[in-house]
Amino acid sequence: YRLATIIERAYGLERMERDAQGRIVSSDCKEGLDEDEVDDLICSTSFKTTPVGARFVEQHRPQARIIELLELAPDRAEAYCEVLAFAAERPRAYAEIEQLLKGKPALEALVEGERIVMQPSVFVDKLERAGALVWDGGWRLTEEGESYWEELKAATNGKQ
């Protein structure tokens, strides 16, 4: 309930209060009633997603997060796609993914003019947070990750 009210204040949900007959209780219905009478009038409370809430959900669905991840790091997109393709074959141990990415330029970054080498876990972690990978006895694609991967392969005629 607390989370729902926070989302309501952010305009993502609309609260609907109903009386015993299921009719919506509007602010007009509450006019002139004290707090106890309002409490007695309201039998149930529900929430409905607003257009703002629906847009938020759309922006944060896994496929959108995967696309955003690849767009934010175009120089690493190829490595992310390699991990997706690798995990699409079968669940993978972290050591296998580490070996796949070993020596790839995508692991290198310049931080304040100094060259550093990132751990492959950065790629796994970001793909997991985006909703593309999940640990299930090995790193495997989620349903959304599989869907994204299949769409990407189709869009590039399997050249990934």
Each residue's pLDDT tens digit, 31-48: 998 999 888 899 999 999
In angstroms, the CA 98 to CA 94 distance is 6
pLDDT value at residue 155: 78
In angstroms, the CA 65 to CA 72 distance is 10
Count of other CB atoms within 10 angstroms of residue 105: 10
Residue appearing with tokens 């990132």: 118
Summarize the confidence of residues 12-25 as an average pLDDT.
Answer: 92
What is the band of 154 on the pLDDT scale with cuts at 50, 70, 90?
A: confident
CB 66 within 8 A of CB 87: no
pLDDT value at residue 157: 67
Count of other CB atoms within 10 angstroms of residue 54: 11
Q: Which domains does the chain have, with CATH numbers?
A: 2-59 (no CATH), 61-155 (1.10.10.10)
